[in-house]
Amino acid sequence: MASFFARTRRFSLVSLFLLELFTINLIPTTDAQIGICYGMMGNNLPPANEVIALYKANNIKRMRLYDPNQPALNALRDSGIELILGIPNSDLQTLATNQDSVRQWVQRNVLNFYPSVKIKYIAVGNEVSPVGGSSWLAQYVLPATQNVYQAIRAQGLHDQIKVTTAIDMTLIGNSFPPSKGSFRSDVRSYLDPFIGYLVYAGAPLLVNVYPYFSHIGNPRDISLPYALFTSPGVMVQDGPNGYQNLFDAMLDSVHAALDNTGIGWVNVVVSESGWPSDGGSATSYDNARIYLDNLIRHVGKGTPRRPWATEAYLFAMFDENQKSPELEKHFGVFYPNKQKKYPFGFGGERRDGEIVEGDFNGTVSLKSDM
């Protein structure tokens, strides 16, 4: 893509104009409708058909599934809910090395349901890193993704269903200031070829973004109001861009890291973000309510670096009692009995453009190293 742009400089003004139109066309046109991740690590959760009914009753039009759960996929038929369909990390090696398994997986979990199930993305693995505990899986992410992409392409569906993966913020080496965002040097050999694939396929990168964990990891320098969208003004000035909340700063550090590779333009989808209501430092019902409500209201504005609507997915639909440590049990926006935990809606509504305020016990200093 970068070399393509370079060659166009030699073309006529007409060619440059056409290139500009092409580039504008790359900008996502998604609205700010929020999605919610449907995790199933609980022994007291309602059946899938009731969960999909709950999504519809609450105007939740996007879902992330972490594996091709058949009851959930069947319940999603003709629901109109757009889907991120996950491939578990445990399947990566097989799908990277066995073409028959790839074809069978796509037939069983995609072709058997699409288009009555509106599969939008396939997430090949979640938070795999070439360093740390999942490092042995990293070698399989790109070949598995390419194999699934080719199987989707063979059906002529590669423009409708984008194949990608989900990463977390630990792959970011520098995030402050956001414009200097860059990936860690020890993950570039893993990420750069994947970014090249995303540019080729026109697919977004899915990123799990949690201001909560950044705040509790450095509460002295990252204030609670900054993490909760409630700072009274700009807290970080980065050239022409001012940052009033940590979410934007984190997300723009990913945008910059992608741009600074020079490989090509890649859109980012926030595939998880949330705040636990109990179980750890800075966890409370009010903190979680304020963060989630403000996130829903905020994503329609985009970020300073990319000022158009951000596609984002809340984590998670339910409190899941089989997760650990304790705080992981309390990310739900619904209780397992299907009662809403918080009073807000999920349609990205705004109240006269106002941001919800609250009372905090957080520090006020800010460095925002994230």
Has 354 been annotated as catalytic?
no
Contacts of 221 (CB under 8 A, 6+ apart): 365, 366, 367, 368, 369
Q: Which positions ≥6 away from 112 have C-beta within 8 Å?
A: none
- In 3D, which of 328, 219, 214, 230 has the Cα closest to residue 279? 328
Measuring CA to CA, which residue among 211, 204, 236, 248 is closest to residue 28?
A: 204
Q: Write down the catalytic residue from 82, 127, 311, 320.
A: 127
**Closest Cα to residue 170, out of 129, 231, 221?**
129
Q: For residue 46, which phi and psi values (nearest 5 degrees)?
A: -70, 160
Q: Which of 82, 272, 311, 320 is catalytic?
A: 272
Give the whole-angstrom CA distance, residue 35 versus residue 336. 18
140 closest CA partner among 204, 99, 97, 199: 97
* Euclidean distance between CA atoms 89 and 67, whole angstroms: 10
Residue 13: CB atoms within 10 A of its CB come to 7
Half-sphere exposure (Cβ direction) of 306: Cα atoms closer than 13 Å: 29
Distance of alpha carbon 365 from alpha carbon 174, whole angstroms: 20
**Gap between the Cα atoms of 106 and 104, Å rounded:** 6
φ, ψ dihedrals at 64, nearest 5°: -115, 125
Reduced to 3 states, what is the DSSP secondary structure of residue 107?
helix
DSSP SS3 for 7? helix
Residue reference for tokens 């590669």: 158
Determine the distance from the C-alpha atom of residue 236 to the mean position of all C-alpha atoms in its chain, rounded to a whole number: 23
349 is catalytic: no
Beta bridge partners of 38: 65
Catalytic residues: 127, 272
